[in-house]
Amino acid sequence: MISPLTTTKPVQTSLLSVRDLSVEFRTRTGIVKALENISFHISKGETLGIVGESGSGKSVLALAILGILDRAGHITNGEVLWSQNTETHNLLKMPEKKLRQLRGKELSMIFQNPRVALNPIRKVGKQLVDVLRCHSNLSRNQLKKRALELLASVKIPDPQQRYDAYPYELSGGLCQRIMIALALACSPKLLIADEPTTGLDVTTQATVMNLLKDLATDQQMATVVITHDLALASEYCDRIIVMHAGHIVESAPTHPLFSQPRHPYTAKLIAATPEPHKEFNDLIPILGSLPDLRREDLAPCRFISRCDRASERCQQEALMYQQVDEAHWVGCWYPLEV
């Protein structure tokens, strides 16, 4: 698949630019081609949504960017360019010590499973203090005060009591909010939020997302929101990337993508999403399943077996991104008509 990155925003004006990133996992049953030639960019203050069904590669992409892939994962191609203060560095070639200094301070992540991400035998307040001590110059008294402020900022009731609690003493929703507080502790330049509202009630979801949106505006924090929730993405994201089976199949500003989807997969995702005005019978399921990414004979288009517009060309010819509108790209030989 030929990437459109070089014809869109130049690296110098982007905070993060991912170019032709490919990731494989070596397993006992074969090599899983988890990501193939992924390219995108994000600028300061922008909120970018990454959507797609489970197994499309969204979380793997986040872990690859931060350099924390599982041991079985290997980056086989590409660059992750980080631009700060007129300097640009490839995170994939950065020494681990220097990358560790960036993680948690400049680059931060809200993990999908807070129960796994949090240390179960260390009080949550101490975990916040650990991050602040590592990446700030706050005094001992200031560390605790700042930790309590962070707990309050994500609407945790009675922050002082929660400060002295262990993760196993708290509900899943509270653990998720603590995970968010940890990620925001040092006011990162880039926040990757992997399903940030998992386990939260609707009111708290809105509170958390509004907090992230305010930080993006006030501190010019770039935010990548990985989510299955298309309604959430449509409300809070400036631009959307749609992933399927390790490919980016469509990229566009939010309103054009939802009002005029051009890739068949995007259109099917939207049609399968519940909305207040839709009856249950109005929902149209996406038939089939993701292809086995261990196969040696994967078609250039990995959506081919689920697409009613596919032809022999999709099976044999490498896909090329087409610009169907300003800042709207689609990886399909037969995009939907407007």
**Does residue 338 or residue 191 have the better pLDDT?**
191
Q: What H or E segment, with its residue span, contains residue 116? A: helix 114-117
Please tell me the predicted confidence (pLDDT) of residue 301.
Answer: 94
| In CATH, 5-106+188-330 is 3.30.450.30 | no
Domain spans of the chain, in order of start: 5-106+188-330, 113-187
- CB burial of 141-178 (b: ≥16 within 10 Å; e: otherwise) equals eebbebbbebbebbebeebeebbeeebeebeebbbbbb
User: 205 pLDDT band (50/70/90 cuts)?
Assistant: confident
pLDDT > 70? residue 124: yes
Q: Look at the block and give the residue holding tokens 């078609």.
A: 299
Residue 331 near residue 248 (C-beta atoms within 8 A) = yes
CB 167 within 8 A of CB 105: no
Q: Look at the alpha carbons of 102, 104, 108, 114 in this order and tell me if their dihedral is positive or negative.
A: positive
Q: What is the pLDDT of residue 3?
A: 54
pLDDT at 242: 97
The strand pair at 222-227 and 47-51 is best described as parallel
Entry pTM? 0.91
Poorest-confidence range of 49-53, 107-111, 151-155?
151-155
Q: How far apart are CA 79 and CA 91, in angstroms?
A: 8
- Distance, in Å, from the CA atom of 74 to the CA atom of 83, rounded to the nearest integer, reads 24
Q: How far is CA 178 from the centre of its chain?
A: 19
* Residue whose C-alpha is closest to residue 70's, from 21, 119, 37, 32: 32
Please name which of 61, 33, 29 lies closest in space to residue 299, comparing C-alpha atoms: 33
Tell me which residue has tokens 């009675």.
158
Half-sphere exposure of 52 (CA within 13 A, CB side): 27
Is the Cβ–Cβ distance between 212 and 194 less than 8 Å?
no
* Range 15-43 average pLDDT: 95
Question: Which residue has tokens 């996992």?
Answer: 25
